[in-house]
Structure 1
């Protein structure tokens, strides 16, 4: 590419080009010598890349291959036959680890009504115990979010959440010396509410009540995303039902919905969560290669 040659790098060798995605993204995606694109980021940017990569430019003699790992609106479903302490611990860890800045973070807790109040109460209790502050300190559970733009976006969603649900804890931010947001829990949120549908990418979790387990799965699938999800249940029949009917790329039973282990839990989702390319799996390397068959007759 010209940009590489101007930087003194041989064409085809790219380690890192500084600059925002808005500055260099379209150029790199559109260039006729770009052959493969591996992207991790938001839904909207992923869609833009997928669309632009499909166009063949003058001098381009191949179809560009795209791997896209986009957003998520991940849910933990809690059955009435569940270890409720495990459920609460899983929701808190998955929602607020890394300040909720993970595409796999739990941003929806869908609880069968029989145990809704108990799980909600325990999650609020555990959340209030979390320390927010300097991540270099051993006692700190949650540090700041990444920058001012992220802080502003998350705080805007918290304001939306105050209109859509019942604020149970958190809801406050402080950007005087960093971008700190208190872990936030909203209760009694409609499954179609914005904070139940749109990726926030911050320490905010919304609780929704389900009539029964089938209704809980219906709510869990009521999103355009399909990245991760978890089910907390002692009912084997319900776990098997979820195995087939909970439509996410990474599904976990009786644990949180984050923390896939590379090589053990290949990671990737479908629908608007991406191309389900399963990073860390045995087939992932093949996606970066071009197959060639050679035959010889003697």
Structure 2
């Protein structure tokens, strides 16, 4: 009551980030980008890859390579520098992620992980489900943990359609040697931070403006000059001379 201005809000919220893999691509780069994006920090990053949308021509080969790379990840006490993955943050996250793993077992094909151990910490094996439908819960809902959902598509246009069909729009990546498709993604992949031929995580605030579309945020970009406009009032002035 009594205020004469609207309160401004800058919000960075969730994501259901996807890596799109074209049929003309570097297979090794695709698999490595997916695994690193999905399981770094136990998948507890708003920018983490939780969906891999792969062209049918390279699907089986990449899925197998993702499986191999995921199973090779080391899990344990993160104080040990040789360990890649530690535990998830708390009991609530542990419970939620395990619930989604059980959902995944009914929606897709489990190819890695799927187990957990809460005896000495909240440890969850990096988990991968393949052959998911675009509107399955694992492809739509934010999990915020080490769970990856993989979907097969017939074309790059279908990959973009599936990539855009969640309520979020934070980060995304495209792995392709096709310049036309990379340019198409620039125009049509509706994410605030788009990465081409690299993983979808790793933006450094202060160097790369970061922020998402749709329910991922307020379209602001932390780390960019336009961010300052949200803290200022613009005045337009004209004078007849």
Q: TM-score range by the shorter chain?
A: over 0.9
Change (3 A) 1:263 1:114: same
Structure 1 unaligned blocks of 5 or more: 1-57
Matches within 5 A, 1:35-184: 58-184=1-127
| CA positional deviation for 1:176 | 1.1
Count of residue pairs brought into register by the alignment:
240
1:263 to 206, 211, 219: 206
| CA positional deviation for 1:295 | 9.9
| CA positional deviation for 1:282 | 1.2
State the partner residue of 2:192.
Answer: 249
| CA positional deviation for 1:276 | 1.4
Cα distance in structure 1, aligned partners of 2:85 and 2:184: 35
Cα distance in structure 1, aligned partners of 2:154 and 2:97: 30
Cα distance in structure 1, aligned partners of 2:62 and 2:231: 44
Cα distance in structure 1, aligned partners of 2:105 and 2:127: 11
Cα distance in structure 2, aligned partners of 1:236 and 1:172: 40
Cα distance in structure 2, aligned partners of 1:223 and 1:294: 42
Change (3 A) 1:98 1:292: same
What TM-score does the superposition give when structure 2 sets the normalisation length? 0.96
Cα distance in structure 2, aligned partners of 1:77 and 1:273: 19
| CA positional deviation for 1:139 | 1.1
Q: Which structure would you say has the larger RCO, counting Cα contacts within 8 Å and 6 or more residues apart?
A: 2
| CA positional deviation for 1:290 | 3.6
| CA positional deviation for 1:96 | 0.2
State the partner residue of 2:181.
Answer: 238
Change (3 A) 1:293 1:213: closer
Deviation string for 1:263-284 (max 9, x for gaps)? 3321011111111101111111
Report which of the two structures shows the higher radius of gyration computed on alpha carbons: 1
For the residue of structure 2 that corresponds to 1:69, the secondary structure is: coil
Deviation string for 1:96-130 (max 9, x for gaps)? 00000011100000000000001000011000110
Structure 2 unaligned blocks of 5 or more: none
Cα distance in structure 2, aligned partners of 1:129 and 1:231: 24
| CA positional deviation for 1:288 | 2.2
Are 1:223 and 2:161 counterparts? no
Cα distance in structure 1, aligned partners of 2:46 and 2:57: 29
Matches within 5 A, 1:198-217: 198-217=141-160
Deviation string for 1:22-69 (max 9, x for gaps)? xxxxxxxxxxxxxxxxxxxxxxxxxxxxxxxxxxxx233321001111
| CA positional deviation for 1:285 | 2.3
Cα distance in structure 2, aligned partners of 1:245 and 1:295: 38
Cα distance in structure 1, aligned partners of 2:17 and 2:127: 16
